[in-house]
Structure formats: C-alpha cells, structure tokens
Structure 1
Amino acid sequence: RETDSEREKYFKYHTVCGQCGGRFTRRRNWSSTREKWFCTCGCKSGTYIDDTVFYGQIRSVLSRVIENPDVLIVPSKAENTYAPSLEVLRAEKETDRMAERKSIDFMPIKKAIYSNISDKFDCCTLDTAKAFNTVLAYYFGKMQITEEINLQVLRDTVDKIIVSKDGTVTIRFINGAEISKDKENSNGNGCDSTETENNN
C-alpha cells in the first residue's frame, strides 16, 4: 500500500503466520478500532496483536540479542552438505574418461570440467549456521540497545519474522537461529509445526 511507512512495508513483507506459513499483515485503525496484525489466511490468534504488542516484541528480541549475542549461536549441520545428482556423477566420470585419452583436445575437456564444477556447486547446501554464526554475533556485539527499530539491521540479519498462535513474535535470523522475547534459541524449531513444514 502506498500509504504504508517503510517500517510497515518491511514487516508486512517479512512476517509470516506460525500456524500456516501464510502472510501476516497489518490492518490500519479505523475510528475506534485499533490497528491489528493478523494472518491473511484466517488463522486465529489468542492475543490481539496491535502495534504496541508487535513492535514491542521486536524490540525485546533485538535487545536480548544485543545484550547477549551468544544466543544467536546454533550448531552446524551434522549431515553432508554436498549431495551430487546422478547427472553430476555421470559428467564427472565422462570428464575422467576424456582426461585419460592418449590424444587430448584441451578446449572440450576444459569446458567439461568447468561445467561439472558449476553443477557440483548447485548440489551443495549452504550451512547457514557455519556461514553466519560468528559474523552475526560480532555484528550485534558492536551495537547498543535502543528503542529505535533499525530496519537496515533487520535487512542485513533477519530471514523472517514468525507470529505464533499465542501471539509470540519470533525472529528467525539468517543463520537459522530463532529468538523470541522469552525463549532461548530454538535452532529453527521454535515456531508451530505447520509453519516449520511449510517453510523449511
């Protein structure tokens, strides 16, 4: 909506319902009705979420993280982050066969190797915890607690914001850490089960 502030636009775009994974948006206040944050898919919340509740929890989470950046640290993935496809394995064998020939044409094998490397990269899964744990902790460790919600900080560090059925607002950071105002890091499993299934 054109009349939305930059802050409203950011949170409307990045906030999801913890029950269904759908958009969580804001309705402006009309006459005697307070503004309200709600699930666009119709999921019911046990708490009336107005700006005071919503933004208050955002500030609380950011204050917790700034006060103790270590809450952001999550374990790295134990599983293998590289899972080659059959096409990649076949291409790798073909490249090996090309290299074993007595008469090698350099350009075709160079092209095949580069193509295979690119395809292998596409088969890799980013370990977000390993990639971002340290830099996130350092980033927030340099900050001071403030009442202002810094949108650039959120753009740099946040994946999404999740609102649970009970009205709890959880911030999922880019390393997978999920922090709410009262709950320690849940390592990506702090939201309702339906939302986890829809967004992971």
Structure 2
Amino acid sequence: MYVSGSGEKCVIWNYDIFGFDGGRTRQNVDLLASHGFMVILPDYYRGFFITPTDPGLMDHIKKYSYSKLEPDVKRVLSFARSRGATTFGSVGTCWGSFLVMKLSAFPDFKAGVSMHPSHPKMMELLEDSEEEAYKQVQCKQLFMNAGNDHENLFPGGLADKVLGEKLTIEEFPDMVHGWSMRADLSEPKSKRDVNRAVNLYLEFFENNL
C-alpha cells in the first residue's frame, strides 16, 4: 500500500490496469490527501501491470474476480481502521471502478468516484452482474465519462436507471478512455478537463464524507 495523509475520513484509491506506479495516480493520491483525507492506494497486482494493447489483457482481467480481491480489501480496511478511519469513500480509474462498485455496498462507505469507468466490460468478462452490483450500492456515486466509454454509464443507461438519484454523471466528450491519469497536459483541452475532474472529485468528497 501507498498511504498519504491521515484522519477519520479515508478514501481507497483503486488504480487502473497500468498498476501501482501508473500515470498520475500517486500525484492524485497526494493531492486528495492534502485536502484532509487519509488516502490509501493498494497494490492489488503486486507490482505487475499491463497495457490495453497487450494480448494477455483479457486473461489478466479474468484473474481478478472480487473473490480474489476480497482478502486484500479486508486487509486494507482493517489497516485503515487501525489508523483511525471511521468513514470511507473510494476512487476508481478504468479497472478500479469495479472495486468502487463493490466497496460502495459497504455501510461505512459514503461516496464513490469512477473516472472513465471500465466495470461494465469487466463484469461481463467475469460473469458478474452489473445490474446487481448497482442494486447493492448504498452511497452516492460520481461517474466522469470519456466520450468513448460504455453506453451503460451515460444518462439513460443501466447505471442511471438502477442508481437513480444516487448517481451524478459528468461527461467529458473531448476525452478518450484513460485521460484523467495520462492525457497530455500540454494540450489545452486535456489540461482543462483534468483540472475539472480534480475539482469535481474534491468537491464530491468534501460534500459527502
């Protein structure tokens, strides 16, 4: 685990398929922690990472069912509570949105943020019901969708229909999947939308945790 910050309000940051050292993940963890949260970044892959073009991608995703991840989740939450955490939220980018859905079923989780979520495709691969996962969610959700993300994530889609008032959807039509952690910030539209995403998740956690 990478741990930044302290306090009773804890956010579990669930990375994308690029893993523990990918993109701007730790920069965002530190930024969120600087606003008064304990933020924990678990390394579920144990140092491994993969890319979207790797021919082993589908097999990699199939390895990480929730039953495989659950022991690590329990360890992380136990650790957080030992450090004084009482209220939780979660962030997921790409692959990590799968864990946001699972964690948001726990009663002490009060908010979940998913940036360019991948859980619809992942749940299909894992034969894990997306609709049932939404039905189990107990807290408010913020989806920040790239223009090419799955149709279930947009207004009128499955998530909207099941989650209803629990879900806020923010669209980033100029961005493509993965932008929040790895878009080129020298490009004005990317910088604009990355900054917007940061401001949105900070406000969301400040209002809901």
Q: Normalising by structure 1, what TM-score?
A: 0.22
Q: How high is the TM-score relative to the length of structure 2?
A: 0.21
Greater RCO structure (CA 8 Å; 6+ sep): 1
Q: Which one has the bigger strand percentage?
A: 2
Q: Bigger radius of gyration, 1 or 2?
A: 1
